[in-house]
Amino acid sequence: MYKLPMKKLKAKLLLAALILLPLEYAHCAITDIDQQVIIKSNRQASDIKNKIASYLDNVEITQGSLSIKADIVQVVSQENTENKIYVASGKPAIFKQLLDDGQPIILQANQIKYEPAKHTITISGNASVSQEGSLVSGNIIIYNILTEQLNAEKKTDSNERVTTILQPKLKDKKNP
């Protein structure tokens, strides 16, 4: 009985923190999803039966302004659709994309799961999101490109908490 109210409280606190968060996440370049995907790596292996392609060592993926750099990337094709899921691992794996205003958003973690069909990026293990000098870090961060919603969580069995570092706006020297 006690856990349910605590979960609701945590959800409300997270929502309040996200509303107050001045990271100003703008729409990512939605047109990136319509661009070709280019994958470069030192090695490649495929499991054709299970529709899994593995790219190994020094992997770089680009699609428009979007880029992923990792040690290993597995691309899983979903059955009966053309949808793919990209799972990148590294120390860290890095996801970058230019927002509509030209500012980059950078997500990095031990693992990045990018699902273009769902417009979501889930990063886990030493996860962080940075934009315009501000930073959110936690164990798991889910970012929806389309709705611009971010959800950060700590490890369930850890004392570590989600950390947000907000940079002040620089004052214009002409107009202090």
Residues 6+ positions from 97 with CB-CB distance below 8 Å? 28, 29, 32, 65, 66, 67, 104, 105, 145
The C-alpha atoms of residue 5 and residue 13 are separated, in whole angstroms, by 12
Write the CATH number for 109.
2.60.450.10
Whether 171 is covered by a domain: the verdict is: no
Would residue 75 count as lying in a domain?
A: yes
The answer to whether residue 175 is domain-embedded is: no
Is 173 part of any domain? Answer: no
**Number of folded domains that form the chain:** 1
Please check whether residue 108 is in contact with residue 124, taking contact to mean a CB–CB distance below 8 angstroms: no
Q: Specify the pTM.
A: 0.76
Residue whose entry in the numeric block shows the structure tokens 């799961």: 113
Q: Are 9 and 156 in contact (CB under 8 A)?
A: no
For residue 170, being part of any structural domain is answered with no
Q: Enumerate residues 6+ apart whose C-beta is below 8 A from 36.
A: 63
Q: What is the pLDDT of residue 43?
A: 97
Assigned domain for 172 exists = no
Task: List the chain residues with pLDDT less than 50.
Answer: 1-4, 9, 12-28
Q: Taking a C-beta distance cutoff of 8 angstroms, is the pair 109, 92 a contact?
A: yes
Domain residues for the domain of 77 are: 3-165
Contact assessment for residue 87 and residue 68, using Cβ atoms and an 8 Å cutoff = no
Q: Is residue 109 domain-resident?
A: yes
| pLDDT tens digit sequence for 91-134 | 999 999 988 778 899 999 999 999 999 999 999 999 999 988 89
Other CB atoms within a 10 A radius of the CB of residue 170 amount to: 7
Is 141 contained in some domain? Answer: yes
* pLDDT in the model for residue 26: 37
C-alpha 85, offset from chain centre: 13
